[in-house]
Structure 1
Amino acid sequence: MKTSSSGPSRRTALHVLRCLLLFALILLLHGVARAVDGTRPMAQYLLQQWGAEQGLAVGHVNAIAQTPVGYLWIGTDRGLMRFNGLRFVPKQPPSPEYSPIERVISLAVDVDGALWIRAENARLLRYFDGRFTLGFPVNQGETSLTAIAPGHRGGLLATGLKIGGMQVTTGGVTRLRPSVGSLLISVAQTTDDTVWLGTREIGLFRWKDGTLQPAVTGVPDRKINCLLPTPDGHLWIGTDNGLGLWNGQTVVTVPFPAEFDHLQILAMVQDRDHNLWLGTSKGLLRYNTAGMAWLQRNARERDQAVTALMEDREGDLWFGNGGSLERLRDSPLITYGDAEQPSGEQFGPTYVDAHGRVWLAPITGGLFWMRDDAIHAVTADGLNQDIVYSIDGSGDNLWLGRQQGGLTRLHSSGDTFTAQTWTHADGLAEDSVFSVRASRDGSVWAGTLTRGASHLVNGKIEARTDGNVLSSETISAIEEDRSGAMWFASPAGVNVLRGTSWRSLGVKDGLPSQQVFSLLADSAGAMWVGTSDGLAYVDKGHVHSFSGSPLGKEPVLGMGVDQRGLLWIATALHIFSAPRAALLAGNLNPETIRSYSVQDGLRSTEGVRRFRSVVNDGLGRVWISTGRGLSVTSSGVGEHLLPAIPHVEEIISDGVAVNLMGDVRVSPNTQRIVFQFSGLDLRAPERVRFRYRLDGFDKAWSEVVESLEAVYTNLPPGRYRFRVVAANSEGRWNAQEGMLSFRVEPMLWQRWEFQLLCLCTLTLISIWIYRRRMQFLITQANMRFDERLVERTRIARELHDTLLQGFISASLHLHVTAEALPSESPVQRSLQRVLLIMERVIEEARQAVKGLRTFDGSSTPRLEQIFRELVLEVDEAEATGYVVVVEGEYRTLRPAIYEEVSRIGREAVINAWRHADAEHVTVRLEYMSGRLGLEVTDDGTGMDVATVSHGREGHWGLLGMRERAERMGARLQIISRLGQGTRIVLNVPAGIAYPDEPWGGRTKEADRFRLW
């Protein structure tokens, strides 16, 4: 063991000092930064630049503005550009209504959110809700505007060559006063409604209550380039010779240091934290209570004039510098190191002690500490010649694990340090100590690379553990949990010493890998474990891993927790953060796992394989060693980022852009529709996530996507509404939706007018076909009726000429015989009886012949009468359940129809009595306007399906009924089930059933029905 002491020293290697001299003057950031932090050195801001290579077509940036919907507008020498964070889109008013915009001089956004554009070759334009309108009427007589600015209470303030000062609103122009005698080049309005006018030659004027007064005293120069009103009623005045301030009483010149004297101020903006930013002829200048600071530029861009300035809704500063658009912003991480070196600068272990000193050990060797602008190198005990692998501390003691020098304790007395070292000669396992951990009981554990761990108790190496206890003799990390147990990480898993008992954890227990690089004790009692295959934690003896997330794919080299409860993770390839509470609760949302890049303040996203390469300090910040510098989380930055504003920017229909003005229509027969949208988050547009839905087609929202377009194919005609929502880089979803309603036009054959015409045509064709069918059926029926009429006539003639004449002849002979017999003859009575019978038969025969030859509907009984007389053919017991019902007004039937319907009905009723053993039979006769209906219902035994379809063998009743119905052109239904009775329904179309039906017509063939 050896001891030594040393005071602060400034001797160290040149490359290390060059790195450390770039550290910030102010390291501690308090509260939530709402704008660009004015306490930061200018070099610590993140500077981004866009030019022609990124799509910005500029000659020079003259003006910058942001509308409330989130778009950034850039006025350049080549026109007006709109920027959504990812791409620039030129914007021009519709032609030929307006002349094209060639050069934009000024931009202003009024309280209503409208964008006012002052162009060199065009009149003042107003852009609102996607439409350009003329902002300045042509008949006002003004040929050219010289300056514009938003009015305090709305509208726009403007100055012109002829009219001078004026106030422009959508309702018209209000003239303030005739010209002041010089060219007006700037205008502004303070909160007391005073209008300020800046001239090119004679200074500043103010207009209030109808009075114009010069403000000469105190103005630094007579050329007033720009004016900036403040929320408290003051006015900043930018001139060709410095800065002035109207303080409510008078104008005073702001004193500048000698290096800023006689500075030409071209643009101004005051951020929400009251930092005043000045665009000057020599670059960008920041002015606040701490003084003035230049934005340092490289030799090529040094002394370039800044002509446009703007603070966006996130608090970032945008400015136009030469031919490019640039942005300054705070970052969630601040990185220190020599950015000019191609290889960067690597730091290893880091530690922040109780006195606020930040201890650093570069990979190349040495030990340094920093506090209050001063950086010190420690040379005690040869530390400047050795590589420090690990740093830990307790109270005034700092414990160092060294590559060659063993275990060293630095004891501080103020800023004076005393060194004491333990080596192999003092019982240390070996002199190469990779990990050091000071436990709460005052002892110190030292983990070596090849000989296990040593335990220093009360200044002596008390015990040495070896491979008989530890899974491996290489100790990569040591940690103490809340219960006092010691955890040892190695390439063969984790060993836990609790009291005197040991426990091993590995892949069999749920760890993603046996190789463990880092450990972190959680205040909630869990132990975080970083392995070669991702992150895990041990809680109450159970191992939980994150194999299915980004945290379960890369080697975890270090971990730390900040004051917001975010777990920061350094892997071999990325720097992540995730809510610790959500991870422990198992509610891991991939959207809340954030990966950081150079745009967040890092110079490298690669972690460093050193014990305690990620540490916490007393202020709740996390320090992270990376491949190109040391980074620290910035308190408050990015805590409450505004949500991204979703917009539907364009619809592409089969490769052609659709006009989004007015009623949006997509041409018919479109095969592919592409919706292009954006989420306006200028700070991190590439991290915006989206969900979308097409109302009228989609049933639910889409999955979370990163792409900026949605594709639909073969949408049917109709009205739709496309909706999109966006989430910022923190996973915060905006309740506001971007939406666009549109209509897919139908083809000619899909239009309702065409479909209605087709329906009407089809209806007329159907009616024509029906009538032709009815005429055909009637003609066919008439032909059959004619044949039957001829046959009946022949039969009647034959009966008359043969059978009837024979009966008459026989009757005459019987009369002669009866008269020849005496009246007393017993045969006389018999002959008289025979004669009476023969007379009755002859009379009936005559009537039958007459019926065969002619039919008189008025002299025949009605159908219902025929059906009622059927009871005479059955027993009285069977007739008790028989009912005949007539509905509708009686109508005369065609003779053949009368005969066929009566026979079908008779067959149905007789079958119900004779074959179905029915107790109740109902006959329903319906005289309807469109048909003649007959329904016979019984409660008999019924029939099976086969009998209904094909009839019963040896019986022809059902078949005969179907044939008669078919012959008439009628529809017959037989509905029956075994044990459930039978229902027979006959429907005869009116044109066939009734001779006076107009559908049947008054044809010659139809008249033949009346012969029956």
Structure 2
Amino acid sequence: MQTSQIRRTFKWILCIYSVFVSAWLYGASGFNDYFMEVWTSHQGLPHNSVNAITQTDDGYLWFATWEGVARYNGLSFELFSRDVKTGIADAGIRTLVADQQNRLWIGGARGGLTLHQDFSWYPQALAKSLINHVLVDHESNLWLAVEGEGVFFRPYLGNNEYGNGRQVLDVGAYRLVQATNGVIYAATSAGVYRVSQTNAEQLSIPSVPDKTRIYYVASDHQDELLIASAKGAWRFDGNTFSPVAEELSGSVVTLIEEDDEGTLWLGTLDKGLARVGYRQVDYIDTQSGLPNNRVISWFQDVEGSIWVGTNGGILRLRTAPFQSVDEQAGLLGNFVRTVLQVPGERFLVGSSEGLSLLEDGQAFPASDDLVARQSVLSLAALDSGDALVGTQRSGVYEWRMGKMRQLYSQGNGLPANEVRALLEDSKGRRWIGTVNGLVLVESDGSMTQINQHNSDLPDDYIMALMEDHRGRIWIGTAQGVAFYDRRNQIKQIDISTYEGAQYVFGFYIEPGFIWMATDRGLLRYDAMQNTLSGIGKPAGLPIDKFFQVIYDHMGSFWLSSNRGIWKVGYVEAHRVASGERHTVNFEHFGEEDGMGSSQANGGSNPAAVSSRGGNLVFATANGIALIRPTALKQLYQYRLPVVVEEVDADGVKVNPKIDKQLGAGVNRVRIKFAGLSYIMPQRLQYQTKLVGFEEEWNYHGNQTVAEYTNLPPGHYEFLVSARYPYGEWNATKHSLKFEIEPLLWQRKDAQLLASLGLLFSIGSLMYWRVHSLKSRQRELAQQVRIKTQALREQSEQYERLAKEDPLTGLYNRRAFDERVRRDFMMASQSLRQLNMAIVDIDHFKQVNDRFSHLVGDEVIKLVAHYLQYTVQPPNIVARWGGEEFTLLIHGDEEEAEKFCQKLLVGVSQLECEALHMQFNLTVSIGLSNALGCSDYQTLLKRADQALYEAKEAGRNRVVKYQEFRIY
């Protein structure tokens, strides 16, 4: 089977088997080029509300629901919920965040937080409430957005362990994002904040109340902040805010993300999913395929598919395959010069050997007339539904109901029979572009020749014609471009100012802009500003010459060339042309992507068309390339990951990342694997090989289990590879190494030693037995004495370490809590005599930033030594954490305040040589009295509140907690 036939078969198989649930083609809003699929609880989801979606490094897709987290391999969901193994605190999962090294953070109800990596689970300390989002910052620290509580920071300690959480913002938070420069933004119930470990600053959005609920923050490819709020969506470049879409300014936007092509996607509360283009917003809702109009999550996977989580299930938007149509499909000649859509999803195709009609992937002669069997260069649609046909040697014909009739030639007014461009304008006039000039045919049949001699036409070699929204006729020639205005005048546009551009092969016209495919890239003419700009080699494109530019109504331009087809983002193209960006991202397609030839033809029009049905059709040197902007990249460029999902030995599951030795006497090893592609997983094919047991690869078809029985002892490596039908085996093979240990009697050295031992034991068994027993008795007695002493010393050391801060030698937080709890209970009848103070070193972060963390440690030890010397029993002092110390002070409130004032003065007189007299050492103290406190936690909270007020009042002071304050 030839390549084109294989790929057409591939396309057919994909379209049939890729529908997991159902698919709709949405044509009205601009989503028609996406293939849509829906998953609900009927297809294996544990719950229809999908709160978060992500993909780990191994390729798995994960979905957070209120009934657990579901892992998807393309064929089935595996549910993980609350149990001892996972450490998940509650089945309600709110957030999923993929981290480096194949790690996944899972957060949700009851403050549950769990880290999953490979086959292992690492439960973390609970947060105070529902965790809405998790952020791993550039230093691997954790930031938690907690419902109703705020933002909390947990320092990274190493080995999947994190320190105690510290609140940095006390406003209920929903989402966190970190910019490239390290700045962290928080979406909260009362605005958007810029937060750090020590500070939180609210950002004010113009015309939006400060307390407006912000649902979502994200970063785009330019590292600008994207904001979704109850009052629309916004973009923040670090200095100014700008609305993303004016028409959504009064809508509740639940999320905002940017895809790989620079297109913005917005989830709404009740309007469904919105996609923001350069000048319009497209929607998809329940009437067009969305499971529910409330969008709560969004994700683009590595294959380019977009997953949308709603309250009613998951929607997946993905690309679909393409095909090449040539002579084998009935085309008259493979060298195609022009293509035109006619009523219905049908296309007229002009080649060097005649005019064909393409319908449903099959082509046949467009006319029985022999005149149709000649070289066709150009086509144009007529208002009647018929078409004009420009030929290389015979002028212009009319194609009507399968018949060809000659209209114009050199014999009746054309300056040449070689016609490369045709147009019927909105006034019914016909424009004929030849190699010797332009002809205008009025509605009454009169003809006017326009050339360099009687007009300002830049050249007589006409290659492209198009009418803009103002009725002007744009003319592309071999020496530049001009337009024919309403005053019947030809006016040139000098395009040579951009890299010396000369040839204009094709146009794409939109309100206000004329895009031109030229020999120096894609040029944009701003009709309102009369300015010219371009996208060519200076913007990062590898080549200069492009023949046609068409828009796919999905947010991308497609450019044809002699070296394949190039795809650039529509919005990105405008930004580059406007000077907002310097380079343009692009995708390249050629023969390896299914084109019959990488040489797309140009020099006559139209050589490419974007059909109303969503297909892009290009004329090439080997047929036409019919492309649906979908799964090209996914099918032929994506490196298919393969994972081992489960390993069991004699029915007992093992962790293949840890358990490399399966033990002795294993009879059966079962390995389950999967290829993690989500385009057409049902059609994936597999082959395996067990190195050390097999010499050849074993083909498994679409079976995903390999079993081995009675494997001899030894070292093995299991290899598995996957492919699509008719495709190459993936070069990325998953490897799993393991060892089966021999039984004792199977070891040769054991057999030899057993024989020698048997002979030796016959002569000395009694003597050896008595001697060994006595020796063993003495050894055991000695070991008991040694271990008893070691345990005693270790117990004393553990007891000391459990209560002592290693840096300062003070009580640690645990010991302080125990002492405070005891004293509080003993003072229950005289709480007035019990006080607590929290001492915080002022501006301590500046010490670390200016002098280093080592100097910071010296400052902490200096203050700790002073406090230890000053605070005498029964009062106690402890290091609470970081630069904070806690004091338990016995006596009435006035005595405690005087004591704190003494400490304030004493610290300010301390001198630290490492600070070089460049930093004034002061502290802020928050003081509270136990009277009125139901428990010691309340006493602590009051002291913490007083400390906060001391800092707000300017630091270097003592503030007593007062339950009622008059401001």
Q: What TM bracket, shorter-length normalisation?
A: 0.3 to 0.5
